[in-house]
Amino acid sequence: MSLLEIEDVDKSYGDEEVLHDVSLAMDQRDVDVIVGPSGSGKSTLLRCVNRLTEVDDGAIYLDGEEIHGMDENDLRRRVGMVFQDFNLFAHRSALGNVTLGLTEVLELSETEAKSRAEEFLGRVGLADQADSYPSQLSGGQKQRVGIARALAMDPDLLLFDEPTSALDPELIGEVLAVMEDLAEGGMTMLCVTHEMGFARSAASTITFLDGGRIVERGPPEQLFETPEKERTRTFLGQLTDLNR
Amino acid sequence: MTDGEAVTDPTETRGSTIGSLPGRRRLVVVAVGSVFWTWLLARWAYHNTVLDWVATAFGTPDLVRAEQGVRGREGWIPAAPFEGAAEAVDGVAATLGPASALVDWLVWLFDLAAFATTTAPALAAGAFVTVYLTVVSMLLGLVIAVPLAVARIYGGRGLRSIALAYTELIRGTPLLAQLFFLYFGLPLAQIAESVGFTGQGPVPRAAAAVAVVGFTINSSAYQSEYIRSALQSVDPGQLTAARAVGLSELGGIRHVVLPQGLRFAIPGWTNEFVYLIKYSSLAAFITVPDLFRRARTIGSETFQFTDIYVIVGLFYLALVLTTALAMGRLERWVAIPGLGSASDRG
C-alpha cells in the first residue's frame, strides 16, 4: 500500500481551476519532486495534502486512510511542512520554534521537548544557534530551523514548498544538503522545488505539473533524458540552464 | 536638541519621550518623580486601613492613622514659608508701582504653593481612588478585550457581529451617559452594596464599584480595537505555520498570534491607559471621591477654583507621565530581537 495516494483531485478558487484530476502515489522512502511554472498548482497540491486547503473533489489517502475523515490536527502532526518564507515563530528562539509543537501537540514535558529539540537542531547543524531568534539567523539557518521544527514531530511525510526560492544563492546549498541527508535517511518527502541538482540526485520521481494537470511523471533519468512530451523537455531544459 | 546624545534609536522614543531625554534633564525628571511618588506612597500608607490593622497588631497604633477623615488631614510640608515668601514679594511689588506686574506672578506662585501644601493630603486620598479605578479597570478591561479582539478577527459570523455590536455601542455613546445609566438607571449601586461594597475599611464604596464596572466595559471596547489592529499586523503565515505543526486554531492564536500581537499592542494600549486616567475623573459625577471630586470640593469650599485645578492638573500630569514611562519600560522589557522593531515593521 502506498503511503500517500492522491486520487483525481480537483480544486478551484472561484472560477479558476487550480488542480484538475491530479493523481499520484508515493511509497514510503520515496522522494517526489514536483516542478512546474508558477501558477501551475504545485503549492495548492501540497496544501491539500495537509488540509491547509480542502479539495473540491477526489480523495487523498495517508497510509490507506482518507484524510478528510481524519482529525486535521492529527493529520498535520503526521505530515510536516516546510515553507518557502520559513514562517518561523518570530517571538520564539530557534529552540522555542521546535519545542512548541512538542509540548502543545505531542504533549511532551518541557525537559523532554528541550532535549529532543536540541537533538534535531543538531541534526540540521544548528546546535549552537538554539537561543537565537529568527531575526538573528540567516535565511539558510532559518530554513534549517523550519526543517528541524517539522522533523521533530516525527512525521510520516514531509512537504517542502519551494524551500530554497526565498534564499540568496550562496545559502541554498546548506538547505539542500540537509534535504539530501533526509532523503538518504529514508524520509518520505514531497517537494516543490526547482533545484534540478537535488531532483537529479535525490528524487525517486519527478512530476511535471502545468495548468493544474500532471503533464508527465516518472523517474528523473526518464524525464531528463527521454521525456514523452515536448513541453517537459522545454521546461526542464530551461530549469537546468537556470540552475547552472 | 543641543546634546548629541539626544539622537537615539527611533525605537527608543516609542514608549516614552522621557526615556530618551539626555542625561541631566532625565536626572531632574527622575528626581522630581521620586520625590512625588515617595510622598504619595507615604501618604497612602499613613492612612491605609490594612496597614493600620497591622500596626495596631504590632502595638504601634499611632503609626498609621486610617480612621482620620480626609478633610481633617494635615499636610507634612508647612505652608508658612510659602505664605511668608508671597507676602515678602508682595511687599516688594508694592514699591515698584506700575512695574509690579513683573513680580505679581511670583506672588501668585508662592500663594499657589502654600495652597498646595494644605490641599495635598485630600488630593493624595483622591489620587489613590483615581489610580485604583484606572488600574483595576484597565486590567479587567484587558481580560474582556483580548477575547473580544480574537472574536472580531477569527470568530464566525455570529461571534463577529456580537463583538462588533458591543464595541460600536460602547464606543458610540458618551462615557458619562454609560456611568449615569449604570449608577442611576440600573440598581447596580444597591447590588454592589448588598454584596459588601459598603465603604468600610479597605472595601471601596458602592459608587466606586459601579465606576469600575463602567470603566471596565468602556475601556474593554477601546482596548479591543487597539489589540485587534495589533493582532492583524501579525503575519498570517505565523498562524499557518502553527496549524501546520498540528496546533488547533485556538492553540495557534494563544501560543503564536497573541504573544506577538500583544507586544505590538503596547503603544496603543498605553494610549488608552493614559486616556482612562483622565476619563476616570467622570467618576466624580457619580459621587466617587476621586482626584477630580476632591479638587471640586476644595474649589467650592475655598472659591480658589483656578488654583485647585492647576494643582490637580499637575497631579494628573504626574500620573500620566509615570504611566508613559512605566509602559515604555515594559515594552523594552518584553521586547524580542527583531519583533516589532521599527526596522522590521516599517
- The per-residue DSSP string of B128-174 comes to HHHHHHHHHHHHHHHHHHHHHHHHHHHS-HHHHHHHHHHHHHHHTS-
Long-range CB pairs of B324-328, under 8 A, 24+ apart, other chains included: B324/B15, B324/B16, B324/B17, B324/B18, B324/B270, B324/B274, B325/B16, B325/B18, B325/B19, B325/B33, B327/B15, B327/B16, B327/B266, B327/B267, B327/B269, B327/B270, B327/B273, B328/B14, B328/B15, B328/B16, B328/B18, B328/B19, B328/B270
The alpha carbon torsion through B256, A162, A189, A141 (nearest 10 deg) reads -60
**Contact state of A104 with B251 under an 8 Å Cβ cutoff:** yes
What residues of B are in contact with residue A117 (Cβ under 8 Å)?
Answer: none
What residues of B are in contact with residue A88 (Cβ under 8 Å)?
Answer: 241
Q: What is the DSSP string of chain A?
A: --SEEEEEEEEEETTEEEEEEEEEEE-TT-EEEEE--TTSSHHHHHHHHTTSS--SEEEEEETTEEGGGS-HHHHHHHEEEE-TT----TTS-HHHHHHHHHHHTS---HHHHHHHHHHHHHHTT-GGGTT--GGGS-HHHHHHHHHHHHHTT--SEEEEESTTTTS-HHHHHHHHHHHHHHHHTT--EEEE---HHHHHHH-SEEEEEETTEEEEEE-HHHHHHS-SSHHHHHHHHHHHHHH-
Confidence of residue B204 (pLDDT cuts 50, 70, 90): low
What residues of B are in contact with residue A133 (Cβ under 8 Å)?
Answer: 336-339
Strand partners, A65: A62
What residues of A are in contact with residue B245 (Cβ under 8 Å)?
Answer: 76-77, 80, 100-101, 105, 149-150, 153
**Contact state of A77 with B240 under an 8 Å Cβ cutoff:** no
Q: Search chain A and give the residue with CA nearest B261.
A: A91
Q: Search chain A and give the residue with CA nearest B341.
A: A135
Interface of A with B (CB under 8 A): 50, 52, 73-74, 76-77, 80-81, 83, 85, 87-91, 100-101, 104-105, 133-136, 149-150, 153
> Rounded CA gap, B286 and B293, in Å?
10
> Rounded CA gap, B179 and B166, in Å?
16
**Given A52, A90, A101, which is nearest B338 (Cβ)?**
A90
Q: Which three cell numbers stand for residue B114?
A: 502654600
Strand partners, A11: A19
Q: What is chain B's Cα-based Rg?
A: 24
Q: Averaged over B325-338, what is the pLDDT?
A: 91
> Rounded CA gap, B153 and B146, in Å?
11
What is residue B96's predicted lDDT score, i.e. its pLDDT? 81
Q: Which three cell numbers stand for residue A195?
A: 533545484
**Contact state of A101 with B256 under an 8 Å Cβ cutoff:** no
- The residue with greater pLDDT, B340 or A35, is A35
What is residue B19's predicted lDDT score, i.e. its pLDDT? 58
**Contact state of B336 with A89 under an 8 Å Cβ cutoff:** no
A157-161 β-sheet, strand order: A79-82, A157-161, A189-192, A31-35, A205-210, A213-218
Give the C-alpha distances (Å, rounded to integers) separating A103 from B107, B244, B258. 69, 15, 18
Stated pTM of the model: 0.86
Task: Give the dihedral sign, CA A182/A188/A193/A199.
Answer: positive
> Rounded CA gap, B47 and B41, in Å?
10
Closest Cα in chain B, distance from residue A209 (Å) = 24
- The residue with greater pLDDT, B162 or B85, is B162
Report which of A216, B287, B142, B1 is spatially closest to residue A234, judged by C-alpha positions: A216
What is residue B343's predicted lDDT score, i.e. its pLDDT? 38
Other Cβ atoms less than 10 A from the Cβ of B145: the count is 26
**Contact state of A91 with B244 under an 8 Å Cβ cutoff:** no
What residues of A are in contact with residue B230 (Cβ under 8 Å)?
Answer: none
What residues of B are in contact with residue A149 (Cβ under 8 Å)?
Answer: 245
pLDDT tens for B279-314 read 999 999 998 889 999 999 999 999 999 999 999 999
Element (H, E) at B108: helix B101-154
What residues of A are in contact with residue B266 (Cβ under 8 Å)?
Answer: none
Q: Search chain B and give the residue with CA nearest A75.
A: B246
What is residue B135's predicted lDDT score, i.e. its pLDDT? 96
The answer on pLDDT for B341 being more than 60 is no
Those residues whose C-beta lies under 8 Å from the C-beta of residue B11, and which sit 6 or more positions away, are: B341, B342, B343
Classified as helix, coil or strand, B198 is strand
**Given A52, A136, A149, which is nearest B243 (Cβ)?**
A52
Q: Search chain B and give the residue with CA nearest A152.
A: B245
What residues of A are in contact with residue B247 (Cβ under 8 Å)?
Answer: 73, 100-101, 104-105
* Cβ A150 vs Cβ A81: under 8 Å: yes
Q: Can you give the pLDDT of all 244 residues of chain A as single tens digits?
A: 799 999 999 999 988 899 999 999 999 999 999 999 988 899 999 999 999 999 999 999 999 999 999 999 999 999 999 999 999 999 999 999 999 999 999 999 999 999 999 999 999 999 999 999 999 999 999 999 999 999 999 999 999 999 999 999 899 999 999 999 999 999 999 999 999 999 999 999 999 999 999 999 999 999 999 999 999 999 998 888 776 6
Q: Averaged over B36-44, what is the pLDDT?
A: 91
Q: Averaged over B64-93, what is the pLDDT?
A: 82
Write out the residue range of the structural domain in which residue A39 sits: 4-243
What is residue B3's predicted lDDT score, i.e. its pLDDT? 40
Other Cβ atoms less than 10 A from the Cβ of B190: the count is 10
What is residue A139's predicted lDDT score, i.e. its pLDDT? 94
Interface of B with A (CB under 8 A): 235, 237-238, 240-248, 251, 255-256, 259-260, 263, 336-339, 344
Closest Cα in chain B, distance from residue A161 (Å) = 12
> Rounded CA gap, B199 and B69, in Å?
13
Q: What is the DSSP letter of B3?
A: S
**Given B235, B240, B255, which is nearest A100 (Cβ)?**
B255
**Contact state of A133 with B339 under an 8 Å Cβ cutoff:** yes
**Given A73, A80, A81, which is nearest B248 (Cβ)?**
A73
What residues of B are in contact with residue A156 (Cβ under 8 Å)?
Answer: none
* Cβ B261 vs Cβ B146: under 8 Å: no
Q: Report how many domains make up chain A.
A: 1
Instruction: Look up the CATH number of the domain holding residue A157.
Output: 3.40.50.300
**Contact state of B245 with A149 under an 8 Å Cβ cutoff:** yes
B176 by Cβ neighbours in 10 Å (0-12 / 13-18 / 19+) ranks as middle
What residues of B are in contact with residue A83 (Cβ under 8 Å)?
Answer: 237, 240-241, 244
* Length of chain A, in residues: 244
For testing the chain A interface, which of B234, B243, B245 should be mutated: the one with the most A CBs within 10 Å? B245
The answer on pLDDT for B345 being more than 60 is no
What residues of A are in contact with residue B11 (Cβ under 8 Å)?
Answer: none
Give the C-alpha distances (Å, rounded to integers) separating B311 from B11, B43, B114, B260. 33, 17, 11, 40
Classified as helix, coil or strand, B269 is helix
Closest Cα in chain B, distance from residue A117 (Å) = 14
What residues of B are in contact with residue A76 (Cβ under 8 Å)?
Answer: 243-246
The answer on pLDDT for B10 being more than 60 is no
ipTM over 0.95: no
Classified as helix, coil or strand, B252 is helix
**Contact state of A76 with B243 under an 8 Å Cβ cutoff:** yes
The answer on pLDDT for B231 being more than 70 is yes
Q: Which three cell numbers stand for residue A48?
A: 491539500
Classified as helix, coil or strand, B307 is helix
Size of interface A-B (CB pairs under 8 A): 75
Q: Averaged over B240-252, what is the pLDDT?
A: 95
